[in-house]
């Protein structure tokens, strides 16, 4: 079976007819085959552009950014553990899909490639359509196409590797009901063709078989994405391959070079040469013109160089537009037909108007239905009998062709879609000439009896093309407008009437198109209108924009919509590759970005930073990211996008078509919601983005964690997630080394007893300024911080003060200067600091006065203040006292240990505490010489009914008598609240016993008393929660018992 199938396929596929069906001389495929540019990936969405526009977009794509796939290696998996069963290859009409299939099959049949495959069955949809209404099994279908396989048993699935090639999905007239067709798995049981094919592609029928589907882009969406393992796209010829084709096609290399040079001079012609069929058309036309001119020159004994013949740019018979090229092609093919079949060698063309009209009618009506393959019924509907179709195919061998499939049945098509569109446009002009009516005016309209003028006809055509959703009339419109020019109509003398006043119609339609460009057209439609103006030989708008560009004054000027469209057209058709698009070169605005989004789509890098953009731009950018775009890097730094803009951008980022690799959103006013949206989008589409910059934004409580967690996803390719500046990042890495955790996920930073030095302090300052740093607690105790370094730190805190709740700078020599700079932070209304520790910071009364002054201006948040071991002086204590009297100042803990406070100062301090006693819970006045007088004044505070002091430390205060304290505690509620009392290191006399008795006899909850005079091993008789500390140097022992008695042992 294998040998017979290979012989049959080799015979069928070894020859190719360029543009010709069964007429003319065949050429061996291997002799002329030029490798096509095939890439992996591409968009699965339905494209709203005409296929020629898609080719124009692809022509600007950089080869380096695409994954190339050799035709012979379509089923080779990039990873060993992957398996590729189904490949979908898409490409515009005439790009080389069927020729690729032909080459693949021929290489297999000749034993050159893919010999591990046992059987290849090419099944063109155009032929399978003829079996649409029949019921047959998969084996029956194979036998119909390949009779030599009759008797083959494919159920032995492990013995054979089988490949089905389903060529031309766009030509399929089956419904392909993937969602509702019944499941079918028996290769021998008959079913409808639709059921067989959908189950074959889904893997229900012959699951071990390989499937290769080819299609034009518009039909690719007929196959569900989950049925496709690899999506590839045929780009046609690269620029180098175009030249290679012409050199292979033409034996005379001088002619080949001349033709290449001419085609390169016309942007539209050179772009179209991505399509192999157009290369063939161009070679045919230009070679014919060259040879005719050479023959004329020889007759006239002129010895001009060949290379000059096509460079006579003003001669109307040298095609520079698509309309001119196709008009010449039609003339040449009709002349060739008459010479071949009738022996006529006349210089003028003898037109068969009826034949052209009939073919045109078929072309036009099938174009409206998006059909490129026609059957007998389609011909009959246009009034063409089947016999005449064969005559037309013979007469126009390379315009219209008749094919007989492997199974019985005949199909018809134009050699290429663009030829069908040209013939359809020609028909529209013929219809107007003959009937004085437009093909667009339906019989039921009021205009049925009204004669249509050329200008009305052209305006209607422009309107029809603009309203098309998928641009299927774009190329038709170019041809239609081009055929209205007198210069082109002269080439069709005898077929089209030569009209007077055509120049006026030309001016009017040009003006009409310019008016349309002032409207709100899509980029695709407006770009096509510029190509239409090119066909009409009008470049005024384009030249106007080119002048602006050359003068460099676009960034300040206001452009009309038509000028914006012209700018897009100029940028997209320029010779320069758009590797990088920089918005600042044009205009810093949302409008400019939206207008130029079609240009951004073709660029590899888009630099949109510092352009005053808002969320309005993000919808346009999301649409770009969802499309089949070149874009790999997007820089949006320093634009006020906010969360709303980022969320819009994320609709593009999460789309599987988005292949963006680098995204910069530094200083874009993004908060927690935006971070969450980014994390969600990247979870949906994690495989491409490798760098994300969010420096200078405010991530809220969980923004950083949302994105940091994303890095743990094994599918996430993100290598660089940047929240911080370089200096802040260094600080973050340092903390990570010290603490072992990501600082951005911490709320407390403790670097106590580490000498930070200038470099590290600068890095920490940079971190503190960043809104990604959300520290609640910062402890830098004993870090050798100097006044100068404190200035740097406090300056950083001032720029981002709202998160910090606790700051400990104790045991650093920051002095009054450092404290004063800290005051700038404290008086900021955004500062909500609750705990401030400045113990042993070399502060004097000057620093204390500045501190209290700052707290007076923002008094409502601080709850704990530790100024211990600083020389506060008279003015310092006075200012602190004034602050304590402020009813808005609700301090709960005050530590003034070793502050050299004397009796006189203490009187002022206690007076202040007495005026506002209700909030203080902890007071430490140890190691200040307040003496007995100070204790008496303190008792006035304790006696106040509003006092709720819980901890009081008066260690080493020069106290000798606690009678007043005992009395105050006896006669007030203070003892109800007091939990800790420290009187150690005071030489207290006899008054100690009364205080001891009071503590034992009362119902207080005092849990800790520190005094110097309780003897060792003293057992307190009253059970309580009492904990006694005899003095420093004694050890504490807690004994648990039923009555919770706590006993001290020395």
Q: Which residues contact 447 (CB under 8 A, 6 or more apart)?
A: 437, 438, 441
User: 3-class SS at 405?
Assistant: coil
**What span, in angstroms and rounded, lies between the C-alpha atoms of 961 and 938?**
13
- Examine the pLDDT at 736 and tell me if it is beyond 70: yes
**What span, in angstroms and rounded, lies between the C-alpha atoms of 373 and 360?**
15
CA gyration radius for the chain? 44
**What span, in angstroms and rounded, lies between the C-alpha atoms of 6 and 107?**
10
CB 913 within 8 A of CB 920: yes
Average pLDDT over residues 163-171: 89
Beta-bridge mates of residue 931:
none
- Examine the pLDDT at 56 and tell me if it is beyond 50: yes
Of residues 272 and 1006, the one with the higher pLDDT is: 272
Of residues 175 and 267, the one with the higher pLDDT is: 175
Range with the poorest average pLDDT among 437-441, 580-584, 639-643, 860-864: 437-441
How are beta strands 864-866 and 662-664 bridged, if at all?
unpaired
What does the pLDDT look like over 122-146, one tens digit per residue? 998 888 887 878 899 999 999 988 8
Of residues 769 and 665, the one with the higher pLDDT is: 665
Q: Which residues contact 536 (CB under 8 A, 6 or more apart)?
A: 481, 482, 484, 485, 506, 509, 510, 513
Average pLDDT over residues 24-29: 50
Beta-bridge mates of residue 88:
213, 231
**What span, in angstroms and rounded, lies between the C-alpha atoms of 749 and 890?**
26
Q: What are phi and psi of 60, to 5 degrees?
A: -95, 0
pLDDT reported for residue 49: 55
pLDDT reported for residue 1025: 38
- Examine the pLDDT at 554 and tell me if it is beyond 60: yes
Q: What are phi and psi of 458, to 5 degrees?
A: -70, -40
- Examine the pLDDT at 1048 and tell me if it is beyond 60: no
Up-side HSE of residue 761: CA atoms within 13 Å toward CB?
20
Residues across the chain: 1050
pLDDT reported for residue 297: 64
| Total-model pTM | 0.69
pLDDT tier for residue 1000 given thresholds of 50, 70 and 90: confident
pLDDT reported for residue 31: 54
The Cα angle at residue 837 between residues 836 and 841, in degrees rounded to 5: 130
Q: Give the residue extent of every domain in the chain.
A: 2-236, 239-305, 316-538, 927-938+950-1050
Strands (E), 878-992: 893-895, 922-924, 951-953, 980-982
Up-side HSE of residue 452: CA atoms within 13 Å toward CB?
27
List C-alpha distances in Å: 189 to 141, 186, 228, 480, 972.
11, 6, 25, 51, 102
Signed CA dihedral, 1013, 1015, 1018, 1021: sign only = negative
pLDDT tier for residue 1018 given thresholds of 50, 70 and 90: very low
Average pLDDT over residues 34-45: 54
Burial of 1048 per CB tally in 10 Å (0-12, 13-18, 19+):
buried
Q: Which residues contact 252 (CB under 8 A, 6 or more apart)?
A: none
List C-alpha distances in Å: 242 to 59, 93, 278, 299.
12, 17, 10, 33
- Examine the pLDDT at 304 and tell me if it is beyond 60: no
What does the pLDDT look like over 637-683, one tens digit per residue? 999 999 999 999 999 999 888 889 999 999 999 999 999 999 999 98
822-861 b/e (C-beta count within 10 Å ≥ 16 → b): bbbbbbbeebebebbbbbbbbbbbbbbbbbbbbbbebbeb
Average pLDDT over residues 895-917: 92
pLDDT reported for residue 237: 79
Longest pairwise C-alpha distance within the chain: 145
Neighbouring CB atoms inside 10 A of 944's CB total 19
DSSP 559: P
**Tokens (6 digits) for 41:** 């990936």
pLDDT reported for residue 1002: 67
pLDDT reported for residue 38: 60
767: left (phi over 0), alpha (psi -120 to 50) or beta: alpha
Name, of 51-55, 639-643, 793-797, the range with top average pLDDT: 639-643
pLDDT reported for residue 448: 53
pLDDT reported for residue 1008: 56
- Examine the pLDDT at 186 and tell me if it is beyond 50: yes
Share of the chain above pLDDT 70, in %: 82
CB 373 within 8 A of CB 413: yes
What does the pLDDT look like over 916-939, one tens digit per residue? 888 999 999 999 999 999 999 999
CB 453 within 8 A of CB 441: no
**Tokens (6 digits) for 210:** 């390989």
pLDDT tier for residue 717 given thresholds of 50, 70 and 90: confident
- Examine the pLDDT at 163 and tell me if it is beyond 50: yes
Of residues 235 and 1045, the one with the higher pLDDT is: 235
DSSP 1005: -
**Tokens (6 digits) for 9:** 């396929």
pLDDT reported for residue 1015: 36
What does the pLDDT look like over 799-857, one tens digit per residue? 888 789 999 999 999 999 999 999 999 999 889 999 999 999 999 999 999 999 999 99
- Examine the pLDDT at 627 and tell me if it is beyond 90: no
Average pLDDT over residues 1005-1021: 47
pLDDT reported for residue 393: 58
Fold that domain 2-236 belongs to in CATH: Rossmann fold (3.40.50)
Neighbouring CB atoms inside 10 A of 442's CB total 9
- Examine the pLDDT at 614 and tell me if it is beyond 80: yes
Q: What are phi and psi of 413, to 5 degrees?
A: -165, 160
Range with the poorest average pLDDT among 169-173, 580-584, 944-948: 169-173
What does the pLDDT look like over 196-208, one tens digit per residue? 999 999 999 998 8
Signed CA dihedral, 716, 720, 725, 726: sign only = positive
Range with the poorest average pLDDT among 30-34, 374-378, 571-575, 785-789: 30-34
């Amino acid at each position: 079976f294998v040998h017979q199938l290979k012989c049959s396929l080799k015979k069928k596929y070894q020859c190719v007819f360029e543009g010709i069906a069964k007429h003319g001389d065949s050429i061996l495929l291997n002799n002329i085959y030029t490798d096509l540019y095939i890439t992996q990936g591409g968009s699965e969405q339905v494209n709203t552009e005409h296929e020629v526009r898609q080719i124009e977009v692809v022509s600007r794509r950089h080869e380096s950014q695409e994954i190339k796939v050799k035709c012979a290696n379509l089923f080779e998996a990039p990873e060993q553990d992957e398996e590729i069963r189904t490949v979908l290859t898409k490409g515009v009409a005439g790009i080389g899909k069927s020729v690729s299939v032909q080459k693949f099959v021929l290489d297999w049949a000749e034993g050159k490639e893919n010999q591990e495959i046992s059987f290849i069955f090419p099944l063109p949809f155009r032929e399978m359509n003829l079996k649409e209404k029949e019921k047959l099994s998969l084996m029956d279908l194979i036998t119909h196409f390949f009779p030599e396989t009759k008797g083959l048993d494919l159920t032995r699935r492990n013995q054979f590797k089988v490949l089905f090639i389903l060529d031309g999905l766009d030509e399929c007239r089956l419904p392909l009901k993937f969602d509702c067709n019944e499941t079918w798995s028996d290769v021998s049981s008959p079913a409808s063709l639709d059921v067989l094919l959908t189950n074959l592609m889904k893997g229900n029928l012959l699951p071990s078989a390989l499937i290769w589907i080819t299609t034009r882009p518009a039909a690719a969406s007929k196959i569900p994405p989950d049925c496709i393992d690899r999506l590839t796209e045929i780009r046609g010829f690269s620029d180098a391959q175009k030249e290679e084709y012409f050199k292979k096609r033409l034996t005379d290399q001088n002619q080949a070079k001349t033709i290449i040079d001419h085609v390169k001079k016309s942007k539209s012609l050179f772009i179209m040469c991505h399509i192999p069929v157009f290369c063939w058309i161009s070679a045919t036309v230009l070679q014919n013109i060259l040879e005719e001119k050479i023959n004329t020159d020889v007759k006239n004994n002129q010895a001009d160089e060949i290379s000059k013949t096509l460079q006579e740019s003003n001669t109307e018979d040298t095609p520079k537009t698509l309309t001119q090229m196709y008009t010449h092609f039609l003339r040449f093919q009709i002349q060739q037909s008459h010479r071949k079949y009738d022996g006529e060698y006349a210089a003028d063309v003898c037109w068969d108007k009826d034949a052209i009209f009939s073919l045109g009618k078929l072309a036009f009506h099938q174009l409206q239905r998006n059909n490129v393959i026609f059957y007998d019924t389609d011909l009959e509907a246009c009034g063409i009998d089947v016999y005449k179709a064969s005559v037309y195919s013979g007469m126009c061998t390379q315009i219209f062709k008749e094919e007989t499939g492997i199974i019985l049945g005949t199909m018809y098509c134009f050699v290429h879609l663009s030829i069908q569109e040209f013939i359809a446009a020609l028909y529209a002009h013929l219809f107007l000439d003959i009937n004085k009516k437009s093909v667009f005016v339906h019989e039921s309209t009021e205009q049925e009896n009204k004669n249509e003028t050329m200008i009305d006809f052209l305006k209607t055509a422009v309107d029809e093309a603009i309203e098309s959703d998928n641009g299927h009339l774009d190329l038709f419109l170019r041809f239609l407008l081009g055929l209205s020019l007198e210069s082109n109509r002269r080439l069709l003398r005898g077929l089209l009437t030569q009209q007077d006043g055509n120049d006026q119609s030309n001016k009017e339609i040009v003006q009409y198109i310019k008016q349309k460009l002032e409207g709100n057209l899509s980029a695709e439609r407006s770009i096509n209108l510029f190509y239409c103006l090119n066909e009409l030989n009008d470049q005024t708008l384009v030249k106007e924009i080119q002048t602006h560009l050359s003068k460099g004054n676009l960034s300040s000027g206001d452009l009309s919509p038509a000028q914006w469209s012209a700018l897009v057209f100029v940028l997209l058709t320029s010779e320069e590759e758009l590797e990088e698009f920089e918005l600042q070169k044009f205009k810093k605005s949302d409008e400019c970005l939206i207008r130029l989004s079609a240009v951004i789509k073709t660029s590899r890098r888009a630099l949109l930073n510092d352009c005053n953009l808002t969320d309005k731009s993000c919808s346009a950018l999301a649409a770009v990211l969802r499309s089949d775009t070149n874009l790999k890097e997007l820089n949006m730094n320093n634009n006020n996008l906010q969360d709303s803009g980022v969320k819009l951008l994320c609709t593009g980022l999460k789309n599987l078509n988005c292949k963006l690799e680098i995204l910069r959103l530094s200083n874009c006013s993004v908060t927690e919601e935006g971070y969450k949206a980014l994390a969600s989008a990247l979870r949906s589409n994690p495989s491409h983005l490798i760098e994300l910059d969010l420096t200078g934004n405010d991530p809220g409580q969980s923004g950083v964690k949302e994105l940091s967690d994303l890095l743990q996803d094994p599918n996430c390719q993100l290598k660089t997630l940047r929240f911080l500046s370089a200096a802040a990042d260094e600080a973050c890495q340092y903390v990570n080394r010290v603490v072992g955790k990501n600082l951005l996920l911490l709320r407390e930073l403790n670097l106590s007893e580490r000498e930070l030095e200038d470099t590290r302090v600068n890095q920490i300052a940079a971190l503190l300024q960043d809104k990604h740093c959300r520290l609640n607690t910062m402890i830098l105790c004993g870090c050798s911080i100097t006044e100068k370094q404190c200035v740097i730190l406090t300056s950083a805190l001032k720029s981002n003060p709202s998160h910090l709740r606790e700051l400990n700078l104790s045991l650093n020599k920051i002095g009054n200067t450092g404290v004063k700079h800290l005051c700038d932070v404290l008086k900021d209304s955004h500062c909500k600091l609750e705990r401030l520790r400045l113990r042993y910071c070399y502060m004097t009364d000057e620093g204390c006065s500045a501190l209290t002054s700052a707290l007076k201006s923002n008094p409502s948040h601080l709850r704990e203040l530790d100024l211990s071991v600083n020389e506060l002086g008279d003015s310092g204590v006075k200012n602190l006292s004034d602050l304590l009297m402020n009813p808005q100042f609700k301090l709960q803990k005050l530590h003034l240990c070793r502050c050299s406070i004397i009796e006189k100062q203490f009187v002022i301090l206690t007076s202040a505490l007495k005026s506002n006693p209700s909030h203080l819970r902890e007071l430490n006045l140890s190691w200040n010489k307040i003496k007995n007088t100070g204790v008496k004044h303190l008792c006035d505070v304790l006696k106040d009914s509003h006092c709720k002091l819980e901890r009081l430390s008066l260690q080493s205060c020069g106290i000798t008598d606690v009678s007043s304290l005992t009395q105050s505690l006896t006669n007030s509620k203070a003892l109800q609240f007091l939990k800790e009392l420290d009187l150690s290191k005071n030489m207290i006399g006899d008054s100690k016993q009364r205080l001891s008795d009071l503590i034992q006899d009362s119902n207080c909850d005092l849990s800790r008393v520190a005094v110097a005079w309780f003897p060792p091993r003293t057992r307190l008789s009253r059970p309580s929660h009492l904990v006694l500390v005899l003095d420093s140097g004694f050890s504490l022992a807690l004994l648990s018992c039923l009555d919770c008695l706590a006993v001290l042992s020395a």
